[in-house]
Every structure is written in C-alpha cells, then in structure tokens.
Structure 1
Amino acid sequence: MTVLCLLLAWQAVCSAGLVPPFMLPSPVSVAQALVTDWPLLASHAATSLAEAGLGLGAGVALGFVVALAMDRFELLYRAFYPIVVLTQTIPTVAIAPLLVLWFGYGMLPKVVLIVVTTFFPITVGLLEGLRSVDPDEIDLMRAMGASRWQIMRHAKLPAALPQLFGGLKISAAYAIVGAVIAEWLGGFSGLGVYMTRVRKAYSFDKMFAVIFLISALSLVLMWVVDALRRAVMPWERAGESNRR
C-alpha cells in the first residue's frame, strides 16, 4: 500500500508539471520503457545475474572457510579479523577501476569485486554465530567424548545458522549492486553497461526502468535466501506456530 501511494504521488507530481519530464519521468513512462526495452534488459540482466551468482557463491565459500579457520585458531582470529574489517572501509567504487586495469573488461573483475563485497557479511555473521555457543555446552560435549566435528555439527553450526543467513541475505542484495558498479567502469554487457549507455543518451525513463529492475532482482535473491533459510531451519517455523 505504501509503495502504491508513493507511485500515485510520483505520477501526480509529473502530471502536474511540477518537475520537467527529462529530470523525473513519470511511472507510466518508466513502465513503458521497461516493456519496450524488455528483450534488451533481459539479455543484460542475464549477464549481471551470472556475475552475481558466481561472485556470491565464491564469496560465501571463502567467507565460510575463513570463519571456520578463525573460530578454530585464535591466532588466526587475532591476526586476520582486523584485516577482514578493513576490507569494508575501502569503497568499492575506488577499487573497481584497479580490478578492471588488472583483469580486463571481462567477467573476472566483476566477480572479484562481488566477492570482496559479499565476503564480509558472511564471514562476520558466521564467526559471531560460532562464537555465541555457551562454553559450558561445549565443555559438556567434550566431557561426553564428542569430537571437534561433532561439536561443530551439533552445537556450533545450528547456533550460527541465524547469523549466517542474516549475512547471506545482505550479501545477496550486495551481489547485484556490486555487479552493476563493476559494469559501470567497463564491459560488453550487463545492467551497468546498459545504465551507462542510456545515461549518456539522457534517456532517464530507461534509467529508472533499469533501477527498478535491479531492485526487483535484489528482492528476488533475498526471497530465495529466506526460502532457503526456512528449508534449512524448519524448527523456526515450529517455534512460530507454537507461539501463535
């Protein structure tokens, strides 16, 4: 309802001529541009989704390995945790040109940038979850003869799943945005390339159309993460049903 009210207010402002059309196209114009350019947008979106998927998968795998290693070895935690935090202080827009310079205009620099963008939420979320387990619970399992793998399987990983999926949800949204940012600086296809072309042509209705498409794709990826969370953590649904 809120979104509908905002769209109606936006359309009213444009229809009343309060803002020139070349500065703020109406929602109707944006919808028309989206329908008219849909085949081209779909082609560019496929490229961006491929980059986002590869980068997100690599970022999740790398973050998972690093988080497990830092949880296992305290020395690694003290040595590398500040570096992990430091990676988030560097603007992605600043390192994107360097990646293009080093790796060219293909898919690789885009994937690397997405890995850098998605790595932090996964690593920190999983690490905090693994370290949130009650030490007395771990001591009890050790006293009963549980191995490190059994402690990880039955205590640490279940406790870390909420934080892991929270970080994954953030990373899924970052993946599409990271792909678009990387494509701004060079490439042959992708939503960022399309956005750069229509901006130079002052086709702001198409610019708004691709913005809406990027937002929609990010929301879809976040919905996929939510669906995966419900499948992996069925006890959450059981708890919600009991509370009702």
Structure 2
Amino acid sequence: MSRWRWLRPAYWLPLVVMLVVLGVGWHFGARRWPYLLPPLREVGTELRQDPGFFLRNALVTLREAVAGLGIGFGAAFLLAVVVSELPLARRAIMPVAVVLSVTPLVAIAPVLVVAFGFGIMPKLVLVALICFFPILINVATGLRAVPEPMLQVYRTMHASRWELLRHLRVPNALPYVFAALQIVFPLSVIGAVVAELSAAGYADGLGTTIQVASSRNNLPLVWAAIGVLAVMGALLLLLVTVVERRVLTWHDSGRAR
C-alpha cells in the first residue's frame, strides 16, 4: 500500500497548493517589480522555444557538478578514514577543516584559473572543494560514532583494524554518508554555476547562460535557466533519497521516508 501512497491527495495536494501560491505570488510580483520578475508565460516561452539549448547547457553543468563531487567525495572519504583511525591526525586536520569550510572558496576561483588554466579543470577543483568539507565532517563523525559495546564485541574476537573499518565503521557511517550527499548533491550544482560565473573557460553551461543573459537584460532567459537548475537540484536530491531508501533498509533513516 505504501508504494501507492503518492496517489493519495494528502501526499501530493500540499505541494500542488504551494506551487499555486508561488505562481500567484510570482504573478503579482511580476506586475509590481517587472525589472526583477518577468511574467511566467515569458519564462515558459523561453523554455518551449529551444528546449535543446537548455538541455545541452544543463548537461555541461551537470557533468561539472557530478565530476567535481566525485573528486571531492573520494578525497574526503579517504581523509575521513585517516582522521577516524589516527587521533593525532584528527587533532591536526579537523580544526583546519572546520575553518576552511567557512572560507568563501569562490574567492580563490581566479587563482585556480592561474594554476590550472582555462577549461573545465578549475571548475572541477572548485566544485570538489565546495563539496569536500561537508563530506569530510559527516563521514568522520559517522566512522567514529560506533557504539562502544559493538567495538568491544569485535575486539574480543581479535578483529583487525581493517576488519573493524570494513564490517563495523563503514556500515555505521552510511547514514552519515547519505546525509552528506543530500547536502552536497544540490550544493555541487550551485558550485558548478558559481565556477562558471567566476572562472573563465567554457562558453557553455547554465551559469554562463545566466551571466550572458543578465548582461543583455534578458530576464526570461535568466529565470528559465534558474528554473532548470532548480529542477536539476531537486532531481539529484530525489535520486539520493531513493538510493538511501534502497541501501539503508536496515536503518531508521531508510524507513522514515
């Protein structure tokens, strides 16, 4: 029965009502501030005129977001294992990671262009850096959050450090991993757009589209690109949620949704 719960009005009606309220608010906002909000019909016209244009640029931004996230996730996961296993490394690295996590990384985009040249590499590095710290902090917390009685059981069986990591710490950290992914998947899209806006290089991507359209005062195109970005972020978040429910069937977080 739960598989078909989305058919019940109580499941989808609140979202529909919210979308209607937002649409009405947009309508009156466009009449009050036409220099900020174009009419929704003009935004829809932009999307209908050339959907292939938005698809091509969305794929460019998505590639930058996913590739940068992959790099950041791999590096953060490995470092999280190190800091969870070595207390000295944890005391040295985690305070620095917390400080760097609140640093405005967009400010280093010009430096990345100088270091890596024009093209996709500065964008990947910037996305990876934006995603790196939430993953590091969440995964390191999950790896260390194993209940002490469970650790004692494994130690009485003379489990090695690798066996503890593989059979106990990593499974215990999976809810924290998915919590981090729910944060960084949409954040990777934002990072890719910020990278396109601040790091010169490719002429494609939704960030570049927004920048060019803004310079031409083409508000419908700007908001159409923003709408595509919002849908992309929502779909990525939905994908993570679905995978989490499939993987964490044994955990409360996987059954709660």
TM-score of the aligned structures, taking structure 2 as reference length: 0.87
- How far 1:7 sits from its partner (Å)? 0.9
Query: Which residue type is aligned with residue 124 of structure 1?
Result: I
State which drifts further: 172-181 or 38-47: 38-47
The 2-side partners of 1:152 and 1:178 are apart by: 31
Pairwise mapping of residues 1-244 of structure 1 onto structure 2 (< 5 A)?
A: 1-14=17-30, 17-20=31-34, 22-185=35-198, 186-187=200-201, 188-236=203-251, 240=255
Q: Which runs of 5+ in 1 are unaligned?
A: none
Preserved contact between residue 248 and residue 254 of structure 2 (Cα < 8 Å): no
Structure 1 residue runs of 4+, over 3 Å off? 236-241
- How far 1:219 sits from its partner (Å)? 1.0
Query: Which residue type is aligned with residue 191 of structure 1?
Result: L
C-alpha distance 140-171 of structure 1, shift in aligned 2 (>3 A)? same
The 1-side partners of 2:222 and 2:167 are apart by: 49
The 2-side partners of 1:13 and 1:59 are apart by: 39
- How far 1:158 sits from its partner (Å)? 2.1
Preserved contact between residue 230 and residue 237 of structure 1 (Cα < 8 Å): no
User: In the alignment, what sits opposite 2:11?
Assistant: none
Query: Which residue type is aligned with residue 19 of structure 1?
Result: W
- How far 1:159 sits from its partner (Å)? 1.8
Query: Which residue type is aligned with residue 3 of structure 1?
Result: L
Query: Which residue type is aligned with residue 228 of structure 1?
Result: V
Query: Which residue type is aligned with residue 212 of structure 1?
Result: G
State which drifts further: 36-45 or 162-171: 36-45
Instruction: Report how many residues are paired.
Output: 238
C-alpha distance 59-31 of structure 1, shift in aligned 2 (>3 A)? same
C-alpha distance 110-29 of structure 1, shift in aligned 2 (>3 A)? same
C-alpha distance 37-104 of structure 1, shift in aligned 2 (>3 A)? farther
The 2-side partners of 1:178 and 1:97 are apart by: 15
The 2-side partners of 1:88 and 1:155 are apart by: 28
The 2-side partners of 1:213 and 1:26 are apart by: 17
Preserved contact between residue 247 and residue 254 of structure 2 (Cα < 8 Å): no
User: Cα RMSD over matched residues?
Assistant: 1.8
Q: Matched residues, percent identical?
A: 33
State which drifts further: 146-155 or 115-124: 146-155
TM-score of the aligned structures, taking structure 1 as reference length: 0.91
Query: Which residue type is aligned with residue 20 of structure 2?
Result: L
Preserved contact between residue 87 and residue 116 of structure 1 (Cα < 8 Å): no
> Secondary structure of the equivalent of 1:160?
helix
The 2-side partners of 1:91 and 1:37 are apart by: 35
- How far 1:240 sits from its partner (Å)? 3.9
Query: Which residue type is aligned with residue 59 of structure 1?
Result: G
The 2-side partners of 1:97 and 1:239 are apart by: 41
> Secondary structure of the equivalent of 2:36?
coil
The 2-side partners of 1:45 and 1:239 are apart by: 30
- How far 1:154 sits from its partner (Å)? 2.8
- How far 1:215 sits from its partner (Å)? 1.1
- How far 1:121 sits from its partner (Å)? 1.2
Preserved contact between residue 69 and residue 188 of structure 2 (Cα < 8 Å): yes
The 1-side partners of 2:187 and 2:215 are apart by: 25
- How far 1:180 sits from its partner (Å)? 0.6
The 2-side partners of 1:60 and 1:162 are apart by: 15
Structure 1 residues 135-173: Cα deviation after superposition (integer angstroms, max 9, x where no partner): 232122111222223222332222211111101111101
The 1-side partners of 2:46 and 2:22 are apart by: 19
